Amino acid sequence: MSNQPVFVYNKEVLQYRFYQEHPFDQFRVLLAKDLIEQIGALSESQIVTSASANVEALQRIHREDYIQAVMQLSEEIPDPDWILRAQQYGLHDEETPYFRGMHEAAASITGGSIAACEAVMTGRAPHALHLGGGLHHAFPNKGAGFCVYNDAAVAISHIRDKYQARVLYIDTDVHHGDGVQWSFYTDPNVLTYSIHETGKYLFPGTGFVNERGEGEGFGACVNVPLDPYTEDDSWMECFKRTIEQTAAVFKPDLIVSQHGCDAHAFDPLSHMHCSMRIYKEMPRIIHEAAHTHCDGRWVAIGGGGYDIWRVVPRAWSLLWLEMIDHPMLQELDSTPDLSLPEAWIQRWQEQSVHDLPQTWLDNVNLWSPMPRRSLIAEQNLRISTLAMEYVR
Residues acting as catalytic residues: 137
Q: Which residue, 118 or 173, has its beta carbon nearer to Zn ion?
A: 173
> Smallest gap, in angstroms, from Cβ of residue 260 to Zn ion?
4
CB neighbourhood size of 74 (10 A)? 20
CB of 191 to Zn ion, least distance (A): 20
Residue 13 has a CB neighbour count (10 Å cut-off) of 24
211 interacts with Zn ion by CB under 5 A: no
Return the range that interacts with Zn ion (CB under 5 A); candidates 7-15, 16-24, 175-183, 327-335.
175-183
Cα–Cα distance for residue pair 183/176, rounded to 1 Å: 13
Nearest approach in angstroms of CB 160 to Zn ion is 24
225 binds Zn ion (CB under 5 A): no
CA angle 330, 334, 338 (to 5 degrees): 85
**Should residue 199 be labelled a site residue for Zn ion when binding is judged by CB under 5 A?**
no
Closest CB to Zn ion among residues 60, 175: 175
Sort strands 47-48 and 6-8 into parallel, antiparallel or unpaired. Answer: parallel
For the chain, report the end-to-end CA distance as a whole number of angstroms: 31
Minimum CB distance to Zn ion smaller for 137 or for 293:
137
Identify which range of 105-113, 151-159, 170-178, 322-330 contacts Zn ion by CB under 5 A: 170-178
Alpha carbon 247 to its chain's center: 18
CB nearer to Zn ion: give 126 or 260. Answer: 260
Tell me if 202 sits within 8 A of 175, measured CB to CB.
yes
Residue placing its CB nearer to Zn ion in the complex, 260 or 313: 260
Least distance to Zn ion, CB of residue 139, Å: 16
Nearest to 302 by CA among 339, 353, 337, 258: 258
Beta-strand ranges (E) seen in the chain are: 6-8, 47-48, 127-130, 167-171, 190-197, 221-226, 254-258, 298-301
Q: Which residue is nearest to Zn ion (CB)?
A: 304
When asked if residue 262 is in the footprint of Zn ion (CB under 5 A), the reply is yes
- 369 CB-contact burial (10 Å; exposed 0-12 / middle 13-18 / buried 19+): exposed
260 binds Zn ion per the rule CB under 5 A? yes
∠ CA(44), CA(361), CA(192), 5° rounding? 70
User: Residue 71 or residue 269: which is nearer to Zn ion going by CB?
Assistant: 269
Name which of residues 297 to 316 contact Zn ion (CB under 5 A): 304
- Under the criterion CB under 5 A, does residue 177 sit at the interface with Zn ion? no
Using the rule CB under 5 A, give the single segment among 158-166, 173-181, 231-239, 329-337 that binds Zn ion.
173-181
**Residues contacting residue 332 through CB under 8 Å, at least 6 positions apart:** 280, 338, 360, 361
- The binder of Zn ion chosen from 118, 173, 227, 307 (CB under 5 A): 173
175 binds Zn ion (CB under 5 A): yes
Instruction: Tell me the window of 161-169, 179-187, 256-264, 351-359 that interacts with Zn ion (CB under 5 A).
Output: 256-264
Binding positions for Zn ion, rule: CB under 5 A: 173, 175, 260, 262, 304
